[in-house]
Amino acid sequence: MNPYIMALLLFGLGLGTTITFASSHWLLAWMGLEINTLAIIPLMAQHHHPRAVEATTKYFLTQATAAAMLLFASTTNAWLTGEWDIQQMSHPLPTTMITLALALKIGLAPMHSWMPEVLQGLDLTTGLILSTWQKLAPFALFLQIHPNNSTILITLGLASTLVGGWGGLNQTQLRKILAYSSIAHLGWMTLVLQFAPSLTLLTLLTYFVMTFSAFLVFKLNKATTVNSLAISWAKTPILTSLAPLILLSLGGLPPLTGFLPKWLILQELTKQGLPLLATFAALTALLSLYFYLRLSYAMTLTMFPNNLAGSAPWRFHSPQLTLPLAVSTATAILTLPLAPAAMALFAP
């Protein structure tokens, strides 16, 4: 792609999210979301591959529908209460519609089925943008509307953690596994959204760091299936030993960073008098943990009986920059000791 056009599209991605962040008016927030969608579509379809075009079409249809529903809900709100301000949502009907529209936009469970298919059709860089940066703007709106309908949020969140764990069980495609992991993490964020919005922000942040390193590891190995991970020991031995820690951090095991948000969310849910919900959420995390463990097993704990051609790839040096990967890997593994600071910052 022409670098000028690429720069323009990346600028559009940043601009859309910034407009949504800075807006207090629903029309402006909607415009930011639309700019975001329109800017990522050429990035997704840039290789003209049938799968990429199909993924782009599916992404376009869902995002356009979600954005139209969002604007319809805010127009309804304006007709009912005369208010365009994002933070002044008082009527329950538009609030519910906006919650559902945003859930469709980020791919929460009953509206999740576009997410694995779209991610499967993209290359890993665009997939990384899709599963991290594109979630920011909808979550900024989610945090601002103060949704007070607890049933729908808890249903969406619990269904997302369940579906995210369940759907990844049978997958051998890494991008689909990452998509299901994204759905599960978004479910955790939605669960705690109405009780402690700052915890949602903390979860989003840790999820970004962990997903960033997972995508970069797969990109460095040029791996899109579990099988091609099995020869990564020949390419990058040290990273191969660190990658299971990243994956288990995504799964939320205690000495790693991923444990922090799950811990705080479970504590918050218990504090709110919902121990049953907390138990269910913790049990659904086990489903996710299973496929992360399977990835780690295939990547690190087995040595496949390779022929000579199988161990040849170590001769090629990847031109990818490794500094971002190093930083994000260290952050994704080691920041649990910062828990008091994170709690002081995010959960006052």
- Report the residue from 18, 46, 57, 267 that binds another protein according to the rule CB under 8 A: 57
* Angle of helix 26-44 versus helix 124-131 axis, rounded to 10: 170
Q: Minimal CA–CA distance to 45: which of 123, 128, 146, 114?
A: 123
Q: Does 49 bind another protein (CB under 8 A)?
A: yes
- Report the residue from 43, 55, 174, 325 that binds another protein according to the rule CB under 8 A: 55
Burial label for 165, CB within 10 Å (0-12, 13-18, 19+), is buried
Whole-number Å distance between alpha carbons of 258 and 319: 29
State the minimum distance, in angstroms, from the CB of residue 142 to another protein.
21
Q: Does 27 bind another protein (CB under 8 A)?
A: yes
- Report the residue from 19, 43, 45, 265 that binds another protein according to the rule CB under 8 A: 45
Q: Across the chain, which distance is largest between two alpha carbons, in Å?
A: 71
Q: Which is nearer to another protein, 120 or 296 (CB)?
A: 120
Q: Does 60 bind another protein (CB under 8 A)?
A: yes
Q: Which is nearer to another protein, 25 or 271 (CB)?
A: 25
- Report the residue from 10, 15, 53, 143 that binds another protein according to the rule CB under 8 A: 53
DSSP secondary structure string for all residues of 146-202? ----HHHHHHHHHHHHHHHHHHHTT--BHHHHHHHHHHHHHHHHHHHTTT-HHHHHH
Stretch that binds another protein, among 115-123, 205-213, 264-272, 288-296 (CB under 8 A): 115-123
CB atoms under 10 Å from CB of 110, counted, come to: 13
State the minimum distance, in angstroms, from the CB of residue 101 to another protein.
11
CB atoms under 10 Å from CB of 11, counted, come to: 11
Q: Does 58 bind another protein (CB under 8 A)?
A: yes
Q: Minimal CA–CA distance to 207: which of 277, 257, 153, 140?
A: 257
Residues numbered 67-86 forming contacts with another protein, rule: CB under 8 A: 68-69, 71-72, 75-76, 78-80
Q: Does 293 bind another protein (CB under 8 A)?
A: no
DSSP character at residue 230: T
State the minimum distance, in angstroms, from the CB of residue 8 to another protein.
14
- Report the residue from 20, 23, 56, 240 that binds another protein according to the rule CB under 8 A: 56
Task: Evaluate whether 174 touches 226 at the Cβ level (below 8 Å).
Answer: yes
State the minimum distance, in angstroms, from the CB of residue 332 to another protein.
28
Residues at the contact surface with another protein, assessed by CB under 8 A: 27, 30-31, 34, 37-38, 41, 45, 48-51, 53-58, 60-61, 64-65, 68-69, 71-72, 75-76, 78-80, 117-118, 120-121, 173, 176
